[in-house]
């Protein structure tokens, strides 16, 4: 038994936590199998790409009143140091997850106890609205209590800075340092100061939705296509608060909400995972779309920062459109309309992450719009927007994991504005005699059929984390020379900050923050990326392969060829 684990558990027992929490710790300590105790206390929850996230329960490696309180105390300490002599204010929101409202209240209590003013969303709200509220209200920071699309057992804590983006270096490390200085839970100030808490809600909704409405590029098309059949599901989450309303404001009059998933519920009773990336989570929406012969399916995750979409394919069957495809379509539509409207003057830009399809780079090149790449995580996209603010104009950005951002009034992925613009894009395609799938085929014919796939390997607990670390180490030390018969040209190591040209052996520097990501590119255009998740116990492998598409009639054949190629690569690299 790890002495450090037992010592930390005893420290919790000796603190002023409530009796029910102490009882749970004693149960774990007295159990014959100590694995639950180890997983609960072997480390402290850390800020990853998505902030603080983990299983709910008692322990330093669990999300509970005390870890949330400790994180908030550390953030409070840092805010008071970063903005000395100022009345610091923050905004707080929460999603539909079990305990999210309680954790939000805990967060508000700790902030107020530290003399920090709190703007508090009393009812559940989407994450992007929290980002908007921070900027609109002039806050120095903000927190949303959510675990995004994780299973129901999880919850989390996303911390934001004054630009409305999730906390990035050096602030994230500085907050972690402040949290680590807290040696006892007893140092956390839990007693709320009600005088410093201001309730917010509909007033912010109206201002946020007004900004989203300004994004519309084809209002005259929507007037003609107002009967576009849209099926929407919030998957028991916060999307229900704003998505139907913004679609109505845009002018869509034929929106059908999936009733079985319309009510917020942290148990997510109709799905295994409340994640629109999973086909199973979209099954009820798909069934309703078939019954209605819909033009567009959309579903948002619990905190409404991600959206999954679907439409009829060339066989007349409803098909889900993945994040790489949706991001590419949205960027294509936005740039095409901006050019048609005479708004492109060489000072605009788009952004994607390094594991998102390079099709976006090809599209941006055609429209002569600069394209930036960032590390995985929308906080890095937000950092580029902030850096270029006042110099260049951000149009749209996206990542493969179903996150998109249109406009810069929000600094995180935004499913509310994305739903509105995706619906508008579908109306525009229909106006031009195309379904959304037809539009995708046209893009592939012009730029090449890019096929991406995500393959994840889950390894839970401490032993799992060690196994994932060993996998990354082996891939760094023993990179493949060929992949699917094509020579590996370059190896990008974002942890060392270097890219190696395999043929010449030349090594050059990467202009990115350091991150545990490894990429191989090959002579035939294949790209493979490996990245341990910052929020889940898994390692993710991203595959991108490409082939020409000469005719819409060849779509199925080319897709099958590319799918087979990816399957062969997974087997070749022993990633089963």
Catalytic residues: 148
For the chain, the helix, strand and coil percentages under 3-state DSSP, each to the nearest 5: 40, 25, 35
Asked if 408 contacts 213 with a C-beta cutoff of 8 angstroms, the reply is: no
Ramachandran quadrant class, 75 (left: phi over 0; alpha: psi -120 to 50; beta: rest): alpha
Distance between CA 260 and CA 213 in Å, rounded? 28
- 273 backbone dihedrals φ, ψ, rounded to 5°: -125, 130
Asked if 327 contacts 402 with a C-beta cutoff of 8 angstroms, the reply is: no
Distance between CA 58 and CA 53 in Å, rounded? 14
Strand, helix or coil at 161? strand
**DSSP tag of 519:** E
Distance between CA 141 and CA 108 in Å, rounded? 12
Distance between CA 542 and CA 83 in Å, rounded? 41
Distance between CA 403 and CA 528 in Å, rounded? 20
Burial of residue 206, with CB atoms counted within 10 A of its CB: 0-12 exposed, 13-18 middle, 19 or more buried: exposed
By C-alpha distance, which of 538, 357, 526, 574 is closest to 456? 538
How many angstroms separate the most distant Cα atoms in the chain?
Answer: 71
Question: Cβ neighbours of residue 137 under 8 Å, at least 6 residues apart?
Answer: 89, 91, 119, 200, 204
DSSP E strands, 64-138: 89-94, 117-121
Q: Is the dihedral of CA 345, 347, 351, 357 positive or negative?
A: positive
Distance between CA 306 and CA 403 in Å, rounded? 5
Distance between CA 359 and CA 331 in Å, rounded? 10
Name the token pair of 240.
């229900």
Burial of residue 207, with CB atoms counted within 10 A of its CB: 0-12 exposed, 13-18 middle, 19 or more buried: middle
Q: How far is CA 13 from CA 28, 30, 49, 318, in A?
A: 12, 13, 31, 55
**Per residue in 61-95, is it b (16+ CB within 10 Å) or e — as a string?**
bbbbbbbbbbbbbbbbbbbbebeeeeebbbbbbbb
Distance between CA 350 and CA 228 in Å, rounded? 28
Distance between CA 535 and CA 154 in Å, rounded? 10
């Amino acid at each position: 038994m790890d002495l450090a684990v037992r010592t930390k558990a005893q420290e919790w027992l000796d603190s002023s936590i409530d009796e029910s929490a102490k009882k749970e710790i004693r149960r774990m300590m007295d159990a014959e199998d100590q694995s639950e105790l180890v997983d609960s206390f072997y480390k402290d929850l850390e800020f990853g790409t998505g902030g603080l996230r983990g299983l709910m329960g008692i322990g330093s490696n669990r999300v509970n009143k005390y870890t949330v309180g400790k994180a908030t105390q550390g953030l409070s300490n840092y805010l008071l140091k970063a903005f000395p002599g100022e009345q610091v204010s923050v905004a707080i929101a929460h999603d539909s997850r079990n305990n999210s409202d309680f954790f939000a209240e805990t967060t508000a209590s700790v902030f107020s106890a530290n003399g920090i003013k709190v703007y508090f969303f009393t009812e559940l709200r989407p994450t992007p609205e929290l980002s908007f509220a921070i900027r609109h209200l002039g806050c120095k920071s903000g927190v949303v209590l959510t675990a995004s699309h994780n299973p129901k057992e999880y919850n989390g804590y996303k911390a934001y800075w004054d630009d409305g983006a999730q906390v990035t270096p050096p602030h994230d490390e500085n907050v972690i340092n402040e949290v680590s200085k807290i040696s006892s839970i007893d140092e956390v100030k839990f007693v709320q100061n009600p005088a410093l808490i201001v309730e917010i809600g509909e007033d912010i909704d109206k201002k946020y939705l007004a900004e989203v409405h300004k994004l519309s590029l084809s209002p005259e098309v929507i007037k003609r296509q107002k009967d576009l059949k849209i099926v929407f599901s919030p998957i028991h989450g916060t999307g229900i608060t704003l998505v139907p309303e913004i679609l109505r404001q845009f002018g869509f009059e034929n929106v059908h909400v999936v009733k079985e998933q319309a009510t917020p519920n942290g148990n997510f009773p109709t799905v295994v995972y409340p994640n629109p990336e999973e086909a199973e989570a979209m099954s009820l929406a798909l069934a309703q779309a078939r019954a209605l012969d819909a033009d567009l399916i959309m579903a948002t995750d619990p905190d409404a920062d991600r959206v999954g979409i679907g439409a009829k394919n060339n066989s007349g069957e409803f098909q889900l459109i993945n994040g790489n495809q949706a991001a590419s379509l949205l960027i294509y539509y936005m740039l095409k309309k901006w050019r048609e409207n005479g708004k492109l003057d060489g000072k605009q830009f788009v952004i994607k992450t390094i594991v998102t399809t390079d099709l976006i780079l090809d599209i941006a090149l055609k429209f002569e719009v600069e394209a930036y790449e960032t590390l995985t995580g929308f906080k890095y996209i937000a950092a580029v927007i902030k850096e270029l603010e006042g110099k260049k104009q951000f149009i749209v950005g996206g990542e493969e994991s179903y996150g998109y951002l249109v406009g810069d009034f929000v600094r995180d992925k935004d499913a509310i504005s994305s739903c509105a613009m995706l619906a508008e894009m579908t109306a525009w395609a229909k106006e031009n005699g195309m379904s959304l799938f037809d539009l995708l085929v046209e893009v592939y014919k012009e730029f090449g059929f890019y096929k991406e796939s995500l393959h994840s390997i889950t390894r839970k607990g401490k032993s799992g984390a060690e196994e994932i670390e060993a996998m990354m180490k082996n891939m760094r030390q023993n990179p493949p020379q060929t992949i699917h018969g094509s020579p590996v040209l370059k190896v990008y190591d974002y942890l060392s900050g270097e890219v190696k040209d395999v043929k010449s052996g030349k090594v050059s520097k990467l202009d990115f923050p350091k991150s545990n990501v490894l990429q191989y590119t090959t002579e035939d255009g294949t790209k493979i990326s490996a990245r341990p998740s910052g929020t889940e116990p898994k390692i993710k492998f991203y595959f991108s392969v490409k082939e020409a598409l000469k005719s819409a009639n060849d779509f199925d054949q080319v897709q099958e060829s590319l799918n087979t190629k990816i399957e062969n690569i997974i087997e070749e690299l022993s990633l089963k």
